[in-house]
Structure 1
Amino acid sequence: MSFLAVGERAAVSAKARVYRGRLLSPDDYLRLLEFETVGEIGAYLAKSEAYSPYISVPSPESLHRGDLEAIITSVPLLEEIPFCRYLGPERCSLLRSWGERFDVDVIKRVLRMITTGMGNREALRRRVATVPITVANGEKLLAARTLRDVLDSLRGYPLYNILSEPLKRLEKEGGTLFRAKMAMDTFFLTRILSRGSRLPGSEGHGVRQIFGTRADLINIYWIYRSRRFFSLTPEEALGMTLPVRYRISFETLSSFAFAPDVPSMVKLIRESVYGGAFGTNHSGETTEVNEMTLEHNLYRILWKNASKIFRSGSSGVHVVLAYLTLRELEVKDLFTIIEDVRYHYDKKKAREFLIHPAAASFAGQEKEGVSPWLS
């Protein structure tokens, strides 16, 4: 390894550790939940080290929910860009691939607006104005009114070939956006993992740890939902998985999909390396996990995984990706808090659905069905 590469790794790792130290603390979470209005949340964040550089409006206390969410959504992307100044082309390309996942979300939301008639196109315009997308012609995409318009906005970009068949089939035969969404998720996860595999030692291992885990969790989640909510056949459930494996093999996924019933499937999943997300009740019997609880449990695995990389003491671009993962999950928590405050939900109940690993202690007790793997 060249001295230049060593310098790259040291510089970005040091910066990532500084940024991590600016993330919101457990006390910040508690204070945010005690506010009565979204404007109070905006004013508090505007004074915090974590968000003050990004909330520049004169009166943050006047921010409405949509405006505040639009600002904080862009924060992880805005923070990804400066890291590339310290990196060579190979590692910078990997970071760009991470950022492109958010561009894909814009495409998904445009597709959803076209197929359902629901959504806020103006909110997407604000997002693209803050951080221009790089996987499509942004102007054409935001103006798209048909599936063909979306495809035309992708012409000349890698996603054109990926989405051409599923979007043309959807236009001709109808149905859902599932195939198109999975095609995009598969493309970017495999692209990130492929680029990460070229990196040596702890860097390559760290990238696989972050995104391989994400792929595993997506696969388990889709099999679970396919069997529990949609009554799909085992073959159909397996067909919904990403062609990416990390700690869960195809054989193990098959055992989940071909389980005779949902309780048997949950029992098998609980015996896997990610089984803690499904929990048990106090009698030790297998239970079907509440959908929202399960989703947040899976996010907590990602949080724990990213934090583990920091504790390893290694250096490299994977440390940056670990930080960006934590930042992304913090933003999801802020969305939860904003919604809870906006609609005056029960504070204690709201704390149970925070991704932050201290969420269980916030609630004062562990919720039945949630294992102590969060600690």
Structure 2
Amino acid sequence: MNSAKEFSALNSKISSMKKNLLQEEDYESLIGFKKIEEVIDYLYEREFIVNKNYNSINEIESDLKKNRLKILNKLGYFLSKNYNNLVQLILDKYEIEDIKKATRNLVTKNKALTKESFIIRDDFYEKIKEGITIEEFFEELKNSKFYKYLRGYKNQEKRDLLFFVEMSLDRNYYSSIFFESKYLNKENEKIIKNFYGQFIDLYNLSWIYRAKKFYNIKPVIIYNYTILGGDLFNTTDIKNLSYMELEDFVDNILKTKYSFLFDSKHNIDIYMERRINRYLYYQSRDLTKSNKFNFKKTLGIIVMTDFDIKDIGAILESKNYNLTSEETRGYLIKNLGRS
């Protein structure tokens, strides 16, 4: 398919989709509500969710993701095979989330889990309810593309199982995206690698920092569980950072474009995840503003909508804790009022 023709139609579709996303005034309304029920009513009226009966915030977030996934899958109608394959790989994150959720439940035995908590694989709930073991659960995934990333951990001690499973799934998620991007033209391959390279950079920096500060993990182990393919840091850089003392590590990062992780007067540890998400949200939002006939706008809308759902989840949680509007804003990824 002609690239300009393909992305012209797709960009028009995405511009239309953006108009149906929650706008800043919507977020102000959601923040202003006192009760979770009011937020649910608002989302229901805007057709972001399909019912009003939920047992937990987790169920609401899963419903938001199901709805968003249904919409994003329609982008495939506008894409040639290689680009559609890539979109499907990016959207694999929702099935990966279900696998993590099921594995976590098999370890923790959380009785609050419901069928509605899952995004794609609600059949996992029935298996858990039947008393399936972790080993049996992984074997149930034998025909799945994810099995090869899980089978080595079937007999892992439960204490470490979640860490290894989540790290393996995350690492191979990014590797799969990078591998598939090789089938795109050079311009779009570069867009993918630069954008997701920043995800990997920040994932690695957060992991190295926490491993050093809270767990006193040996440098060789820290390095072994980093992810390859970063945008700013190559393999040698990551190895050097893994072996640095914590103070030297922070000093080095303060000299990079990721200095925002450590240059704040606010609690670094509590707000690190929000700072990372905020940076990536605005990177994705900038992509959606592109008018070029390439993959930027598509990539931006896919990623940006995921951060929208995280913010809705934060607003819902704020109602449970009776936070003020100003306190709630402090937990959002979006910086409301920023143009």
Same fold, judged at TM 0.5 (above): yes
Q: Does residue 269 in structure 1 map to residue 267 in structure 2? A: no
Correspondences of 1:47-126 after superposition (within 5 Å) = 47-48=45-46, 52=47, 54-57=48-51, 60=52, 65-66=56-57, 67-118=59-110, 120-122=112-114, 125-126=115-116
Which of residues 2, 5, 17 in structure 2 aligns to 1:19? 17
Displacement of 1:32 after TM fit? 0.9
Structure 2 CA distance for aligned equivalents of residues 78 and 216 of structure 1? 30
What is the match of residue 150 of structure 1? Answer: 137
What is the match of residue 370 of structure 1? Answer: none
Q: Bigger shift: 304-313 or 183-192?
A: 304-313
What is the match of residue 366 of structure 1? Answer: none
Structure 2 CA distance for aligned equivalents of residues 207 and 357 of structure 1? 25
Give 2:49's aligned amino acid.
I
Shift of the 148–40 alpha-carbon distance from structure 1 to 2, 3 Å rule, reads: same
Shift of the 137–91 alpha-carbon distance from structure 1 to 2, 3 Å rule, reads: farther
Displacement of 1:272 after TM fit? 1.9
Q: CA RMSD in A?
A: 2.6
Instruction: Report the secondary structure of 2:289's partner residue.
Output: helix
What is the match of residue 284 of structure 2? Answer: 306
Instruction: Report the secondary structure of 2:154's partner residue.
Output: helix
Identity across aligned pairs (percent)?
Answer: 18
Structure 1 CA distance for aligned equivalents of residues 188 and 126 of structure 2? 36
- What's the CA shift string for 1:5-32, capped at 9, x where partnerless? 4332222222112212332222222221
TM-score (norm 2): 0.90
Displacement of 1:105 after TM fit? 0.9
| 8 A contact 1:162–1:183 mirrored in 2 | yes
Q: Does residue 236 in structure 1 map to residue 221 in structure 2? A: yes
Q: Does residue 278 in structure 1 map to residue 262 in structure 2? A: yes
Displacement of 1:337 after TM fit? 0.3
Displacement of 1:265 after TM fit? 1.9
Structure 2 CA distance for aligned equivalents of residues 119 and 206 of structure 1? 43
Shift of the 233–6 alpha-carbon distance from structure 1 to 2, 3 Å rule, reads: same
| 8 A contact 1:226–1:232 mirrored in 2 | yes
Structure 1 CA distance for aligned equivalents of residues 287 and 161 of structure 2? 37
Structure 1 portions without partners, runs of 5+: 282-286, 362-373
Number of aligned residue pairs: 338
- What's the CA shift string for 1:90-110, capped at 9, x where partnerless? 111111111111101111111
- What's the CA shift string for 1:180-202, capped at 9, x where partnerless? 11111111111111112321143
| 8 A contact 1:167–1:180 mirrored in 2 | no
Which of residues 216, 230, 239 in structure 2 aligns to 1:254? 239
Structure 2 CA distance for aligned equivalents of residues 357 and 25 of structure 1? 12
Displacement of 1:116 after TM fit? 1.4
Instruction: Report the secondary structure of 2:226's partner residue.
Output: coil
- What's the CA shift string for 1:143-200, capped at 9, x where partnerless? 56211111111112222222111223347xx534211111111111111111123211
Which of residues 181, 202, 206 in structure 1 aligns to 2:166? 181
Structure 2 CA distance for aligned equivalents of residues 236 and 226 of structure 1? 9
Structure 2 CA distance for aligned equivalents of residues 215 and 195 of structure 1? 17
| 8 A contact 1:32–1:337 mirrored in 2 | yes
Q: Does residue 216 in structure 1 map to residue 201 in structure 2? A: yes
Shift of the 36–184 alpha-carbon distance from structure 1 to 2, 3 Å rule, reads: same
Displacement of 1:137 after TM fit? 8.0
- What's the CA shift string for 1:94-139, capped at 9, x where partnerless? 11111111101111111111111126432xx2255x6458xx9886
Shift of the 217–268 alpha-carbon distance from structure 1 to 2, 3 Å rule, reads: same
Displacement of 1:231 after TM fit? 1.1
Structure 2 CA distance for aligned equivalents of residues 137 and 45 of structure 1? 27
> Following TM superposition, where does structure 1 have runs of at least 4 consecutive aligned residues deviating by more than 6 angstroms?
136-139
Displacement of 1:293 after TM fit? 0.8
Give 2:10's aligned amino acid.
V
Which of residues 340, 344, 366 in structure 1 aligns to 2:322? 344
Which of residues 129, 150, 168 in structure 1 aligns to 2:155? 168
Give 1:182's aligned amino acid.
M
What is the match of residue 270 of structure 2? Answer: 292
Structure 2 CA distance for aligned equivalents of residues 348 and 186 of structure 1? 37
- What's the CA shift string for 1:199-250, capped at 9, x where partnerless? 1143222222332211111111100110111111222211221122222122
